[in-house]
Amino acid sequence: MVRNSFNSTSGTWAFNATTSTTAGLAQVTVEADTFAPPVLVTNGMTEPQTISLLVTGIITGTPSAPRSSLGSLSALTSFPSSLPPTLSLSTEMAVINGTIAVSLNEWKSAMQVTPSWTSLASSLVVCSGYAGMEVLDASLLANYAIFSTSKGVVVHTISSGTSQLVLNACISKLVVRRHGSAVLPNCHGVMVTNAVQIWTIDELGTANAVADSAGRTLAQYLGSYAAGMAIVDADFSEQACGDMAILAEINGASSVITLHSGVWSVEFQFPTTMPLYSPSTASGLVINGTGVIFSDASITTSGTRPLTLTSIWYSQLPSKDLFVFGSAFLQSPNDGSSWTLLQSYPSPTMITSFDSSSQGYRYAYLTSDNELYSGANTSPLILPLTVVPDTTIAIQYDSIDQPFLVSAIPGAGLVRTELDLTALWSSAVLAAWAAANPGAPPTSACPYSSILVRGSVGPQFTRQIPRAAVAFAIGANSVASQLPKAVYLDYQQQYVWTVDVTPAAGVSLAAAQLMVHESTSSWVRVVVVRKEVPLENRVVFTVTVIDTGAYPLQQFPGETAAATVLTMTMTNGQACLDLDGALPPLIVYSGCAPMYSLSVTPPTSMQCVDPDPSLPCFYYEVDYAPTFQLVDSATGTSTNYTGPYTLQLVGGGLKRDVVTAFPDASLATINTLTWTPSADGVPALGNGLYIYNASTNAVSWVCSGTSPCSAVFPTFPDPAEYLFQITVSTANVTQGVSYCRLDATYTIRLYGLPLDFSTSLITTGATLAISLVLVLFVAACQRRAATRAMLQVAPEPPALDGIPPVGAGLAMMPVHQVSRPSSAARAGATSRPGSGKEWVEMAAAPMPAVPDAVGAEMGPDKGSSTALAGTTPGTGTGTGAGAVPPLRAILRTRPVIPEDEEQIMGSGET
């Protein structure tokens, strides 16, 4: 990398050569994020650039590349030397002349914001002393840039290039939650303050006034004292969402006010003057609200100075470490309840820029004298590191925890300079040690030749895939050292790691001592076991952190957790530990770790006739006994869940696409009437809920009363069925077992439902009615078919004794036409078109003999009654061959003819 090859002192680079190179020009490709010196990088460079270097000498072998104490440089954006910039700088962004916004952490994006502000031209200026739109401060949050302007707070959407005024108030300062927090992922990221009020702004650009749980703002809480209050600064706590600390002046005195768990509290009031103090050893002055309590009688001061505080700052680790600074630098280990003076400066020196590491204890700040100082939360020792150029305007840590300086150089632009704090701190420590120990070899500053830290970085603790470990070691045996940045502990879980120490020559084993400090004692306890190994000149410390089970909440995975920061310090170890001045910190989260879930175990077989593989099916008469899996997405494993849980019917329907949620007010009734535990003695939780576990997990279906499955009509020919939505939950049943609330909702198909009395009655009645209708319909059809068959004209049988067959030809003979025409008449019989009646030829054979009963009904001349051709119908007389029985006899022997057919047949005429 070019940045590792540049020596800012000599202004030269050293590159490793794999082949012989002669003097002349050599080509080097510089990546866009290499942060090479500005002479190598064009402004706004986003693509790899090829440059030419003049090789003036040849280096043989592979020497280690020199690394400068100031690191390397990168030009971000330029401005002409004739027009010095009006620079607004925050921990995330810089705004130059109100037109260009630059992301300081990424250094790759520059956006022109002026054009998008034309829509705000009509907005009123709310800050006095400004005539138009001016930028006072800026911050970057996801896809949004938030600006404090002379017209109020403006949210600029980067993707669309549009701006919106979200708060019409004069805001002098933006406060940014500087880096994402695993324990507080959903907290507001930006806070804005003026002299009397505080707001938070979310990523959607919504501004909300900060208030306590009773709805009181800070001014309302202070009451009459608010008249003399002026808010100076504020910062977010990384301990809990919504917690913050405010630095305010109340009647001329600087005070720290906190908001914890929705409760305002005035934590501390500083004295108005402070002694001038620059420690030469690792010690500080403990102060109270009325003066200074000297913690060491040997400490001397050199006068006093009025105390002016300009900023308040929480450690970026989730701890209670709090800093305030201005004319002095003070630290509190307990959210501002007590304070230690670590450094104070003579007038007019002020601390101008401060930032802290998000992955360790190190912090750094600049003074108006251009001096760079550094220290650590774990020690009161603060050391001057170097003098920076007067063009330097800020010290910051980027998103990967790389410290850097920001300079505004006319003609070059805004320039970033990476810092090698390892080298700077080591040099400062050695210089301080040498001053205190004249004549001693510099290497004896560190009393340990090796310090190895070994802890599991498995995802079962870190909950991240993959999880990058924080490797740390002193000495040659550092390969195996590792410790995660954070671990998660559920109820009474524990995490173990070791610190393996080898004292330097001449240092006894008894001198090696490890101290572990807890940022809060509320959630965990720490046990340290020390073991000496004399034969190997080693001391091994086994550290165990145990969750105490005190966390009061049951949350969804990864939702919230209580953080405890464990600080490890070796006796006299500040001179050894390269960057942090102590062993790496470990954040312990007590709560429900992320990436856990609960799922129902699929059934081994379906209990339905026509199963759907995607819809588990169960038979009503068989007890329902579900089992569940605890899925760990971090490790990619699942195990049988054996803890307590509840089952609740939350929805249902006859088909999958019509399954709907049950009303909340009906859930208790529905669950009581639908199912019940199969075993006796299952604990009841109320509202129809029972507490099940792996051994008592069976329920029996009831489906009584107004249960959704009690009045389901079957779909012929299948029995009745119903679909239920079931929620399994560990809410309110795993206290003393786990901090996790695990919920899962799934759908099952309940098959073979019984019919209740009403449904059975309705179903039986409907079945009988349908059956009766079918019987009647079949009977009618059969009778109609028989009638039609009898009325069909059949061939005439042979005549018997000159008498035609009874009923022969009647199918087409009108009822009133019963005379038999003569053979001659039959031979010439014709129908008369248009008459609506037609003559039907009757059989020529004579009718058979008529029984006595029939003959009794004939006229006087039995068997010889004839109908004459041309006789008027109905007279009963006529002439012709063959005897015809009377009409009554014919009608008595004929079948019943429906009325419609009788009308047709009765339309014949003579």
Q: Per-residue pLDDT tens for 627-658?
A: 999 999 888 899 999 999 999 999 999 888 88
pLDDT recorded at residue 440: 62
Token pair listed for 703: 């489906």
841 band by pLDDT with thresholds 50, 70 and 90: very low
Q: Which of 433-442, 539-548, 817-826 has the lowest mean pLDDT?
A: 817-826
174 band by pLDDT with thresholds 50, 70 and 90: confident
pLDDT recorded at residue 780: 79
- Is 474's pLDDT higher than 90? no
| Side-chain-side CA neighbours of residue 663 (13 Å) | 3
Q: At CA 100, angle to CA 98 and CA 104, rounded to 5?
A: 115
pLDDT recorded at residue 812: 45
608 and 571, same structural domain? no
Residue 438 falls within a domain, yes or no? no
Percentage of the chain modeled with pLDDT above 70: 63
pLDDT recorded at residue 544: 96
Three-state SS at 506: coil
- Is 19's pLDDT higher than 60? no
570 and 518, same structural domain? yes
Residue 897 falls within a domain, yes or no? no
Phi/psi of residue 403, nearest 5 degrees: -75, 145
**What is the 8-class DSSP label of residue 445?**
G
pLDDT recorded at residue 605: 72
291 band by pLDDT with thresholds 50, 70 and 90: low
Q: Which of 12-21, 136-145, 290-299 has the lowest mean pLDDT?
A: 12-21
187 and 272, same structural domain? yes
pLDDT recorded at residue 844: 42
Answer with the residue of higher pLDDT: 346 or 450: 346
For 237-378, strand residue ranges (E) read: 244-250, 253-260, 263-269, 273-275, 285-287, 292-293, 304-306, 309-314, 322-326, 328-332, 339-344, 351-356, 362-367, 371-376
90 band by pLDDT with thresholds 50, 70 and 90: low
Residue 774 falls within a domain, yes or no? no
- Is 292's pLDDT higher than 50? yes
pLDDT recorded at residue 3: 37
Token pair 């913690």 is at which residue?
A: 295
**What is the 8-class DSSP label of residue 810?**
G
Q: Which of 654-663, 728-737, 846-855 has the lowest mean pLDDT?
A: 846-855
Greatest mean pLDDT among 464-468, 482-486, 554-558 lies in: 554-558
Q: Which of 80-94, 194-208, 645-659, 708-722 has the lowest mean pLDDT?
A: 80-94
Q: Which string of DSSP letters, residue by residue, matches 449-492?
A: EEEEEEE---HHHH--SS---B--EESS--TT-BB-SEEEE-TT
CA-closest candidate to residue 192, choices 256, 254, 148: 148
Residue 148 falls within a domain, yes or no? no
Answer with the residue of higher pLDDT: 128 or 802: 128
| Side-chain-side CA neighbours of residue 54 (13 Å) | 1
Residues 6+ away with beta carbon under 8 Å from 179: 316, 358, 399
Point out the domain boundary residue: 699, 733, 755: 755
pLDDT recorded at residue 723: 92
pLDDT recorded at residue 667: 94
pLDDT recorded at residue 571: 73
pLDDT recorded at residue 456: 87
Residues 378-423 pLDDT 10s: 777 788 888 998 888 888 887 677 888 888 776 666 777 888 877 7
Answer with the residue of higher pLDDT: 860 or 384: 384
- Is 497's pLDDT higher than 80? yes
298 and 384, same structural domain? yes
CA distance 104 to 498: 38
Answer with the residue of higher pLDDT: 250 or 110: 250
816 band by pLDDT with thresholds 50, 70 and 90: very low
- Is 524's pLDDT higher than 90? yes
Average pLDDT in the 25-51 region?
39
- Is 904's pLDDT higher than 70? no
530 and 658, same structural domain? no
58 band by pLDDT with thresholds 50, 70 and 90: very low
- Is 886's pLDDT higher than 90? no
Three-state SS at 513: coil
CA-closest candidate to residue 320, choices 565, 585, 588: 565
Q: Are 247 and 256 in contact (CB under 8 A)?
A: yes
Q: Which of 239-243, 351-355, 563-567, 682-686 has the lowest mean pLDDT?
A: 239-243
Q: Which domain holds residue 529?
A: 448-464+480-590
- Is 589's pLDDT higher than 80? yes
Q: Which of 18-22, 692-696, 851-855 has the lowest mean pLDDT?
A: 18-22
- Is 885's pLDDT higher than 70? no
Beta-strand relationship, 190-193 and 173-176: antiparallel
298 band by pLDDT with thresholds 50, 70 and 90: low
Residue 852 falls within a domain, yes or no? no
Q: Kindly report the average pLDDT of the chain as a whole number.
A: 73
Count of domains forming the chain: 3
Q: Are 448 and 504 in contact (CB under 8 A)?
A: yes
Adjacency order of strands within the sheet including 362-367? 351-356, 362-367, 371-376, 379-387
CA-closest candidate to residue 384, choices 401, 395, 370, 405: 370
456 and 379, same structural domain? no
Answer with the residue of higher pLDDT: 223 or 810: 223
pLDDT recorded at residue 193: 87
Residues 682-708 pLDDT 10s: 999 888 899 999 889 999 999 988 899
340 band by pLDDT with thresholds 50, 70 and 90: confident
CA-closest candidate to residue 883, choices 848, 831, 838: 848
Three-state SS at 645: strand
- Is 717's pLDDT higher than 80? no
Average pLDDT in the 116-122 region?
82
Average pLDDT in the 482-503 region?
90
Answer with the residue of higher pLDDT: 566 or 813: 566
Answer with the residue of higher pLDDT: 136 or 862: 136
Point out the domain boundary residue: 575, 590, 605: 590
321 and 193, same structural domain? yes
Give the CATH number of the domain where residue 549 resides: 2.60.40.10
Residue 877 falls within a domain, yes or no? no
CA-closest candidate to residue 846, choices 794, 887, 878, 806: 806
47 band by pLDDT with thresholds 50, 70 and 90: very low
pLDDT recorded at residue 769: 75
- Is 74's pLDDT higher than 70? no
Token pair listed for 87: 């620079």
pLDDT recorded at residue 547: 96
pLDDT recorded at residue 368: 93
pLDDT recorded at residue 398: 76
Q: Which of 243-257, 331-345, 354-368, 759-773 has the lowest mean pLDDT?
A: 759-773
286 and 197, same structural domain? yes
Token pair listed for 630: 């605890």
Average pLDDT in the 660-665 region?
93
Residue 737 falls within a domain, yes or no? yes
- Is 847's pLDDT higher than 70? no
- Is 728's pLDDT higher than 50? yes
pLDDT recorded at residue 800: 53
87 band by pLDDT with thresholds 50, 70 and 90: low
745 band by pLDDT with thresholds 50, 70 and 90: very high
Answer with the residue of higher pLDDT: 562 or 84: 562
241 and 349, same structural domain? yes
pLDDT recorded at residue 418: 82
Residue 7 falls within a domain, yes or no? no
pLDDT recorded at residue 294: 63
pTM of the model: 0.61
- Is 221's pLDDT higher than 70? yes
494 and 355, same structural domain? no
573 and 547, same structural domain? yes
Residues 261-283 pLDDT 10s: 889 999 899 999 888 887 655 56
- Is 220's pLDDT higher than 80? yes
- Is 10's pLDDT higher than 50? no
275 and 388, same structural domain? yes
Point out the domain boundary residue: 542, 560, 590: 590
